[in-house]
Amino acid sequence: MRAALIALGVAGLLVSSSSALSALGASESNNVAVVQRMLTSLEAADPSPSALLELFSDDCYIRWSEKDTPATGKPAALAKLTSLFSKNHRYKIVVHQWFAKGPIVVTSRDDITLSNGKAAAPFHVVGVFVVENGKIAKWDDYEDK
């Protein structure tokens, strides 16, 4: 994760718990809150991709791995978000660390797929988000090997 932060070329606040997020500035706190709402929405018992899409900008960009084809714009983003739940999967998101500076929010987290009540092995990713005007403009996930 350190390499991802260095690559961003920004100095910010790296925190390992939600309580430490209170040390962030107002702008960063608001941006983290948007990302938190989105990640929490992914865990909903009855998720709504359309409601989730409201947290994204009109020209949003979503890519879930380096080899993934990105979705650009709300129609493509809706299709991508809908695909998450097409196999009746649900998700558990465990954020280990947050980083925020200006519009950039970074998470180090485990994404766990729940299928028929059984959890798959956690998939560790670093998520890089750009939040503009209260909406997620860019979401890039990178596998943290």
Residue-wise pLDDT tens digits, 21-64: 556 788 899 999 999 999 999 998 888 999 999 999 999 999 99
What SS3 class is residue 116?
coil
How many Å apart are CA 128 and CA 98, to the nearest integer? 10
Give the residue among 127, 58, 64, 118 at the shortest CA–CA distance from 92. Answer: 118
- Domain locations in the chain as residue ranges: 2-143
User: For 18-27, 41-50, 95-104, 135-144, which range has the lowest pLDDT when averaged over its residues?
Assistant: 18-27
Helix (H, G, I), strand (E, B) or coil at 34: helix
At residue 84, the pLDDT reads 85
Q: Does residue 113 or residue 139 have the better pLDDT?
A: 139
Rounded average pLDDT over 106-111: 96
Q: Give the C-alpha distances (Å, rounded to integers) separating 33 from 8, 89, 90, 111.
A: 20, 25, 22, 18
Cβ atoms of residues 139 and 65 within 8 Å? no
Q: Region 115-140: what's the mean pLDDT?
A: 93
Average pLDDT of the chain to the nearest whole number: 85
- Of 9-18, 79-88, 111-120, 136-145, least confident by mean pLDDT is 9-18
What contacts 140, CB < 8 A, 6 or more positions away? 61, 63, 127, 128, 129
Please give the CATH topology (third level) of the domain spanning 2-143.
Nuclear Transport Factor 2; Chain: A, (3.10.450)
Long-range CB contact pairs, 59-62, < 8 A, 24+: 59/137, 60/135, 60/136, 60/137, 60/138, 60/139, 61/137, 61/138, 61/139, 61/140, 62/138, 62/139
Whether 6 has a pLDDT exceeding 70, the answer reads no
pLDDT > 70 fraction of the chain, expressed in percent and rounded? 83
With cut-offs at 50, 70 and 90, classify the pLDDT of residue 144. Answer: confident
Q: How far is CA 100 from the centre of its chain?
A: 13
Tokens 């970074």 belong to which residue?
A: 106
Q: Report the pLDDT value the prediction gives residue 23, as an integer from 0 to 100.
A: 66
